[in-house]
Chains A and B, each alone.
Chain A
Amino acid sequence: MIHLSAAQMAAQLVSGATTSVELTQAHLNRIASVDSDVHAFLFVDNEGALKHAAEVDAKRVAGEKLAPLAGVPLALKDVMTQKGIPTTAGSKILEGWRPPYDSTVVAKLKANDIVILGKTNMDEFAMGSSTENSAYGPTHNPWDLTRIPGGSGGGSSAALAAFEAPLAIGTDTGGSIRQPAAVTGTVGVKPTYGAVSRYGLIAFSSSLDQAGPCARTVLDAALLHEAIAGHDPRDSTSINAPVPEVVAAAKSGNVKGMKIGVVKELNGAGYQSGVRTRFEESLELLAAAGAEIVEVSAPNFEYALAAYYLIAPSECSSNLARFDAMRYGLRVGDVDGASAESVMNLTREVGFGREVKRRIILGTYALSSGYYDAYYGSAQKVRTLITQDFNKAFEKCDVMVSPTCPTTAFKIGEKSNDPIAMYLNDIATIPVNMAGIGGMSLPAGLAPEDGLPVGFQIMSPAMQDQRMYLVGAALEAALLSKWGAPLLSQAPALAGK
């Protein structure tokens, strides 16, 4: 049962072949059996999940009209507040905190009767590409437990790949949904900026952060997308416009006549050979499905990484000022006569991990008087140039595509002492966040040289998220008929479990 897609699970719930309690219990059992190896979860809400599942079952028995995913379980990234449930954002500074309110995403999940199983592991405050920066230890990739599951949302994607949950929520500031999806052989979507409310999303970089769906199929991602998207008066950056019809697009998958733009600058040197092999193969399949493949150029993308590592740290240095040991979270050094400032200094020393401190210091520097124009100001100009590159390219194509990441999953520990090497993981995902457009990663197969998953990235213009679902569904269908079974059925690490 746990190997079905979320859409199939929902159908079984409707037909009465199973109940939400059975389905939820099956996933809780799976978590109990494999999560000591994977460590996708920071908190599992056994009691709350079963209680909610029973309520959904009762509603169904009573003949209430239910949402499409009602009764299906989900794993929630630990960066989203859920009332009364421990929420840490992967940081020691929030250890033991139970938020007094629900994020809008959680409120919508509850309104859709989606059952929340628990909170998933992540790089501290979503800063990282490997989940190694979690204060609670790394998550392991279900394809090879010695490798990283990507980051920052490694827990959410690993939970999907390990069949601990059929759906998950991620957040994507520079690739934190798409890169974990790519290296775990799952699907991840960063919607257009503003499509999903940020209310209750613990902020890292407010102009880049965006929550989105993680799943094992394109249709499942679309169903979850429609459940969580929409205008929210509590988020002033929320888009007040109808949600694009992504479910219809995922069901159609018709790409006849669509123009698919291959980004010249996001391919070639620096990309692993097996990543390129799978990418080229996917392009051929899309062409066979009726799409026209064209080449587009985005000359300023090469500056995106540098701009990102100024903008995101600058915004984070401001956002993380709220962790001041006064109103919630950790407090250290509160002895008689200690000043508020010394308590703050000591709490933030103990409460923040190395990468978070590195970025706060970098952001403080980039925003400081005398350096602002050279660093933060210049980065904002690069942001304009990247957006212009996208606009020009979208005049020649309907969507743009690239490999999601330059390589497959690397070993845990391999890059943890080299910040620049770690930052390079996100070279193909960051431009999407800079421009605030939509991006999806879906599995393109395994790299022949290491047998690990490769991600295919689709980028669509702002507010046109349905386009990436059309192309994603077409590619997924073509690959499935080539493979004969979903890619995850080949994942070796948890075989027999």
Chain B
Amino acid sequence: MSSLSRDDVANLARLARIEMSEEELVSLSNEFTVILDAVARVQEVAGADVEPTSHPLPLRNVFRPDVVAPSLSPEDALSGAPAAEESRFRVPQILGEEA
């Protein structure tokens, strides 16, 4: 019953920001028919009376005191940057200008 077409996979890949070849789109869509059938089994027991669990610990917000503490230097923070300029990350064009 559950399946994903090649176009569905293409849309998800776009949302997930992953370029995909035609071959990959088609083969993933084939695999998902099997995978979705397997995972859909959760619906058999997930009744309206069952509370969801998002996390094994009873989580609440954890805050630290609002005091200045040592952190990464700009040099360390930029040490793995694909491109940097004037102590900042240099990134490709984000807004469509020119445009």
Instruction: List the interface of chain A (C-beta within 8 A of B).
Output: 97-101, 193-194, 207, 233, 236-237, 239, 300, 303, 305-307, 309-310, 317, 321, 324-331, 334, 337-346, 348-349, 352, 357-358, 360-362, 364-366, 368, 374-375, 377-385, 387, 419-420, 423, 434-437, 462
Contact = CB atoms under 8 A, between A and B. Distances in A.
Contact of A328 (B44, B46, B81): B81
19 contacts: A101-B72, A101-B76, A194-B56, A233-B64, A236-B61, A303-B44, A338-B92, A341-B17, A349-B18, A357-B13, A358-B28, A361-B28, A375-B40, A378-B46, A381-B42, A381-B51, A423-B38, A436-B57, A437-B56
Contact of B17 (A331, A348, A381, A436): A348
Contacts of B8: 365
B38 A364 contact: no
Contact of A339 (B4, B32, B51, B93): B93
Contacts of A379: 39, 42, 46
- B51, B61, B89: residue with the most chain A Cβ atoms closer than 10 Å: B51
B94 interface: yes
Contact of B52 (A306, A368, A381): A381
Contact of A362 (B20, B35, B47, B64): B35
Interface string B5-32: 0001100110111111000100010011
B42 A337 contact: no
B59 interface: yes
B91 interface: yes
Contacts of A380: 52-54
A65 to B, nearest CB: 27
Given A193-B56, A307-B42, 14 more contacts: A303-B45, A309-B35, A334-B82, A338-B92, A339-B93, A342-B92, A348-B17, A352-B18, A368-B15, A378-B46, A387-B56, A423-B38, A436-B55, A462-B56
A342 B14 CA distance: 10
Interface residues of B, number: 53
B53 to A, nearest CB: 4
**Chain A residues touching B, majority SS:** helix
B91 to A, nearest CB: 5
Given A339-B96, A340-B94, A365-B12, A348 B19 contact: yes
Contacts of A434: 56
Given A207-B54, A306-B40, A378-B43, A365 B4 contact: yes
Closest 9 CB pairs of A and B: A436-B56, A328-B80, A380-B52, A331-B82, A378-B46, A100-B76, A349-B19, A236-B62, A381-B46
A343 B34 CA distance: 32
A358 B57 CA distance: 28
Given A194-B57, A317-B16, A340-B92, A381 B39 contact: no
A381 B92 contact: no
Contacts of A324: 17
Contacts of A193: 56-57
Nearest to B25: A361
- A325, A352, A378, A462: residue with the most chain B Cβ atoms closer than 10 Å: A378
B50 A385 contact: yes
Contacts of B16: 317, 348, 360-361, 364
Contacts of A337: 93
B56 A207 contact: yes
A328 to B, nearest CB: 3
Contacts of B59: 236-237
A100 B77 CA distance: 7
A239 B57 contact: yes
A300 B12 contact: no
A435 B31 contact: no
Nearest to B32: A362
Given A337-B93, A352-B18, A435-B56, A310 B83 contact: no
A192 B16 CA distance: 32
B87 interface: no
B46 A377 contact: yes
A420 B76 contact: no
Contacts of A357: 13, 18, 20, 24, 28
A88 B83 CA distance: 19
B18 A360 contact: yes
Nearest to A94: B80
Contacts of A100: 72, 76-77, 79-80
Contacts of A321: 17
Contacts of B24: 357
Contacts of A237: 55, 57, 59
B51 to A, nearest CB: 5
Nearest to A193: B56
A324 B15 CA distance: 13
Contacts of B52: 377, 380-381, 383-384
